[in-house]
Structure 1
Amino acid sequence: MASPAVVRQRPTVGKQAGEGESAAAAGDGGGGRPPAARRPSLLSQALASTASLANLLPTGTVMAFQLLAPTFTNNGACDATTSLLTAALLALLALSCVLASFTDSVRGPDGRVYYGLATPRGLWLLDYPPAGAGAPPPPDTSRYRLRAIDGVHALLSVGVFGVVAARDKNVVGCFWPSPAKGTEEVLGIVPLGVGVMCSLLFVVFPTTRHGIGYPVTNNTTSSS
C-alpha cells in the first residue's frame, strides 16, 4: 500500500507531465509535426565547398600534381630549367581540367559504364566496342550533348586548380622564392577569394556530368 506522501505527489507529477505535453504541442505548432529544417544559406554552402576545393577537380589531376610538384620544383628551389618545367606541368594539368569537364559517362545495353567526350550531338564514346566486334548498338546519348554551362565549369575547374597550385609551398617557393610584402599578401588573399567565388558558382550552377577522373559516386551515370 502506498504511503500518503506518495499519493499526494501523484497529481503533481501528472500535472507536470501534462504541461510538458502542452508545451511540446505548442512548439510543434499544434499539429504534432516537427518544425521544418532550416536550409543552409548559399554562402554557407560555398564556404563548405571551399574547405575541400580539390573535390571540384578531377582526382587524377590532383594526384598527379601532388606527386610531381615536389620533383619538378626541386622542393621549391627552382632554377631556370625547373621553373620552365614547372610552368609546363601546371599548363598541362590545367588543360586536363578543361578536357575532363567535357567528359561524361553512360551505361550501355550490357550494363557497363562507358566514358565519352561531349559533342554538340551527344557523347563520343571513347571505350565503346566497334560495331564489327559483335557489340550491341550504342545507346542514345543526345541528352549528353555539349552545353554552354560546360565551358563555365571548365573555367571554374581551371580557377580552382590555380588556387590549389598557388597554395602549394613548392610552387610558391619556385616562382616567388623571396616575395615582397605586397606580393606575399596577394598570394595569401587572392587565391582564397578566387576559391570562394569558384565554389559559390559551383553551388549556384552545379554540374551533372560524371566524367573521367572525377570522384566516384553512387550514381555512375549522368543525367545531364
Structure 2
Amino acid sequence: MADLENHSENQKQPLLNINALAQNQKNQAHKAINQTFQSTAHLANLLPTGTVLAFQLLSPILANQGKCTSANRFMTACLLVMCIFSCFILSFSDSFRDSAGNVQHGIATFTGFWVVDGPDPLPAETARKYRIRFVDFIHALMSVMVFIAVVLVDQNVVVCFYPSPSEDVKQIVTALPVAIGAICSVMFIAFPTTRHGIGFPLSAQ
C-alpha cells in the first residue's frame, strides 16, 4: 500500500512542477509587459506637455467615452491629426537664455533659428548653433510614435474607431505600444538631443 502511495506522489510531482513553471513564466511575461508599459509612460514625458494634456482632456469628450457616432469619429480624428502635427513640429523648437537671463523660445530652421517670443533675433553665428540637424527628424518621428502608443493605450479612442475589434486588432493594439516603447527607448538613448523646446522640460542652461 505504501509503495502505491509513493508511486502516486511521484506521478503527481512532475505535473505540479510543470504547472508551477508555466505560472512562473506567465508571471515573468506579465512583469515584462508591465515594465514596458511603464517605460512607454515614462517616454510620454518626452512629448510636449501641452499636446499630451490637450489630448487627455479632449479625447474622452470628443470620443464620447468610446460611444462614438460618425461626428465623434471625425472630431477625434481631427484631434489626433492636430496632436501628431504638434508633436512633430514642436520637436524642432528650442529655448535659450538671453543676456538678461530670460528664457526665450523659437523654432529651428535649416539656416538658423527663428525666435517666436523675443523682440530681437539671435545673432547669425549663435543662431547657426540651433539650426535643424538630422537627429531632429529622428526625434520628431519618435515623438509621433510615442504619441501613437499613448493613443493606443487610451480605450476611449480605441473603442471609438474599433467598437467590435477582431482578435487580430486586439493583438495589434496590445502589442504595438509595447514594441514602440522598447524601440523608442533604445532610439532615444542612441540619438540623444540637447533641445529643450516649447512644452518640453527646460534645462538650467
Q: TM-score range by the shorter chain?
A: 0.7 to 0.9
> Structure 2 counterpart of 1:118, which letter?
A
**SS in structure 1 at match of 2:106:** strand
Correspondence for 1:204 among 190, 195, 201: 190
**Equivalent residues of 2:96, 2:105 under 8 A apart:** yes
Residue 89 in structure 1 maps to residue 79 in structure 2: yes
State the partner residue of 2:19: none
Which of 48, 64, 68 is matched with 2:58 structurally?
68
Residue type matched to 1:71 in 2?
Answer: I
Q: Say if 2:178 is the partner of 1:188.
A: no
Q: Which residue of 2 aligns with 1:19?
A: none
Shift of 1:138: 3.7
- Post-superposition offset of 1:108: 0.9
How many residues align? The count is 168
Write the mapping of 1:105-184 to structure 2, written as runs, cut at 5 A: 105-130=95-120, 138-139=122-123, 140-184=126-170
C-alpha deviation, 1:141, in angstroms: 2.1
Distance 1:51 1:97 in 2: 16
> Structure 1 CA distance, aligned partners of 2:88 and 2:111?
19
Q: 2: CA distance between counterparts of 1:50 and 1:155?
A: 15
Read off the aligned partner of 2:151 and give its amino acid letter. A
- Aligned counterpart for 1:55 among listed residues 45, 59, 64: 45
User: Which structure dedicates a bigger proportion of its chain to helix?
Assistant: 2
> Normalization by structure 1: what TM-score?
0.71
User: Of residues 104, 111, 131 in structure 1, which corresponds to 2:94?
Assistant: 104
- Looking at structure 1, the residues matched to 75 and 83 of structure 2 have their Cα atoms a distance apart, in angstroms, of 12
Say whether the 8 Å CA contact 2:40–2:149 is kept in structure 1. Answer: no
Unpaired segments ≥5 residues, structure 1: 1-45, 131-136
Code of the residue aligned with 1:61 in structure 2: it is T
RMSD: 1.7
Q: Deviations over 1:36-65 (max 9, x none)?
A: xxxxxxxxxx95743412112111111001
Deviation at 1:203, TM superposition (A): 1.2
CA distance in 1, matches of 2:54, 2:187: 25
Larger Rg belongs to: 1
Match of 2:17 in 1: none
- Gapped runs of 5+ residues in structure 2? 1-34
